[in-house]
Amino acid sequence: MSTATATAAATATTADLEARIRQAPEKFRVMTGDRPTGPLHLGHYFGTLHNRVRLQELGVDVFVIIADYQVLTDRDVADRLGEYMEGMLLDYLAVGIDPARSTVFNHSAVPALNQLMLPFLSLVSVAELNRNPTVKDEIAHSRQSAVSGLMFTYPVHQAADILFCKGNLVPVGQDQLPHLEVTRIVARRFNERYGAVFPEPDALLSDAPLLLGTDGTKMSKSRGNSIALGADADETARLIKGARTDAERHITYDPENRPGVSSLVLLAALCLDRDPHAVAEEIGGGGAAVLKRTVTEAVNSRMAPIRARRAEYARDMGYVRSVLRAGNERANEFATATLDEVRGVMGT
């Protein structure tokens, strides 16, 4: 299937899935997560965090992985891992991930999950791994000169992340579809060989538009162009002040031709829950100065309650760490049960 066809198919099921989720949320287990390679930012908030909380509120069982082992896929050392993991926990709690309803855990604390990777590796060919366009792209942007085995087999590890708890719904952006396809292949082949153990998870495509960073390229934790959720109002103002715009005074929303200006307009619109065209029109001849003031105010007021909650949780790191401990405990129960079942059907 071409990428365009795969995307069209995934989009069609996403509308259908949304209806089914509303009807019977208890039938779904969402699996999603982040690599702890830097602070979570506004792109994460509007792209996925917001959606995770929405699904949680609908009554879906949500699992969120802090993918610590996967940090090493594209770099040699896991820098400031503890700091980023704790920052991520604070971000999750601040945006409204509720530990009473959602499970937050990390790879390295759940050995049985990682052990699933071994039988799963036997189910995919080297040629299939080689063809994965997202792995190709990640390799192209890697900080390493050689491709490690971990990078190459990363989609299979991700299959273990999703299948250990029998997750059946994975909220993703377009770029993650090839990864999810590997998970589906692993589940299908395992079931064909050993009996029906795993669901074939569906992608829940997000309709969130791509937010660009302050330099006009994709907002990314590791590119130094993002506005962190945990940034304060002054830092936000400073970052937006330095954002790239263009020479044309009149503000319009035209992502194709004016990526920098349009991304700022979009950011304001998302924060204000408004249409970006209307926001641009209102600023009009006010130029970049009014645009930046509008964006700064919109971000700071939208983020104020989140930042206040984040600061409150940060004063009680004992509690924050206990959230991860409890999440890891629950994840271990699922992983151990699934591994036992896998061993049983494989006769190992």
For 204, which DSSP code?
Answer: E
Tokens of 194: 């050993």
| Site residue total, ligand TRP (CB under 6 A) | 12
Sheet bearing 169-172, strands edge to edge = 102-106, 61-66, 29-34, 169-172, 202-205
CB of 252 vs ligand TRP, minimal distance in Å:
32
Burial class (CB in 10 A: 0-12, 13-18, 19+), 316: exposed
Residue closer to ligand TRP, measured from CB, 168 or 214: 168
CB of 132 vs ligand TRP, minimal distance in Å:
12
- Tell me how far CA of residue 85 lies from CA of 67, 69, 95, 220, 283, in angstroms: 9, 12, 16, 17, 39
- Residues 6+ positions from 74 with CB-CB distance below 8 Å: 138, 139, 141, 142, 143, 144, 151
Q: Is 70 in the site for ligand TRP (CB under 6 A)?
A: yes
The H-assigned helical ranges of the chain are 3-23, 42-44, 50-58, 81-95, 111-115, 117-121, 126-131, 133-140, 149-152, 154-163, 177-194, 233-241, 259-272, 276-283, 287-314, 317-346
Q: Is 33 in the site for ligand TRP (CB under 6 A)?
A: yes
Q: In terms of Cα–Cα distance, which of 54, 51, 333 is closest to 166?
A: 333
Q: Is 161 in the site for ligand TRP (CB under 6 A)?
A: yes
Residue closer to ligand TRP, measured from CB, 47 or 230: 47
User: From the list 60, 65, 267, 280, which residue makes contact with ligand TRP (rule: CB under 6 A)?
Assistant: 65
Residue closer to ligand TRP, measured from CB, 70 or 103: 70
Q: In terms of Cα–Cα distance, which of 109, 70, 65 is closest to 336?
A: 109
CB of 141 vs ligand TRP, minimal distance in Å:
12
Stretch that binds ligand TRP, among 89-97, 157-165, 249-257, 276-284 (CB under 6 A): 157-165
- Residues 6+ positions from 51 with CB-CB distance below 8 Å: 171, 206, 208
Stretch that binds ligand TRP, among 27-35, 220-228, 289-297, 331-339 (CB under 6 A): 27-35
Q: Is 32 in the site for ligand TRP (CB under 6 A)?
A: yes
Q: Is 178 in the site for ligand TRP (CB under 6 A)?
A: no
- Residues 6+ positions from 40 with CB-CB distance below 8 Å: 34, 49, 87, 88, 91, 221, 228, 229, 230
Q: Is 158 in the site for ligand TRP (CB under 6 A)?
A: yes
CB of 24 vs ligand TRP, minimal distance in Å:
22
User: From the list 10, 17, 21, 31, which residue makes contact with ligand TRP (rule: CB under 6 A)?
Assistant: 31
CB of 71 vs ligand TRP, minimal distance in Å:
10
Q: Is 300 in the site for ligand TRP (CB under 6 A)?
A: no
Q: Is 74 in the site for ligand TRP (CB under 6 A)?
A: no
Q: Is 170 in the site for ligand TRP (CB under 6 A)?
A: yes
Q: Is 34 in the site for ligand TRP (CB under 6 A)?
A: yes
CB of 214 vs ligand TRP, minimal distance in Å:
21
Residue closer to ligand TRP, measured from CB, 70 or 153: 70
Tell me which residues touch ligand TRP (CB under 6 A): 31-35, 65, 67, 70, 158, 161-162, 170
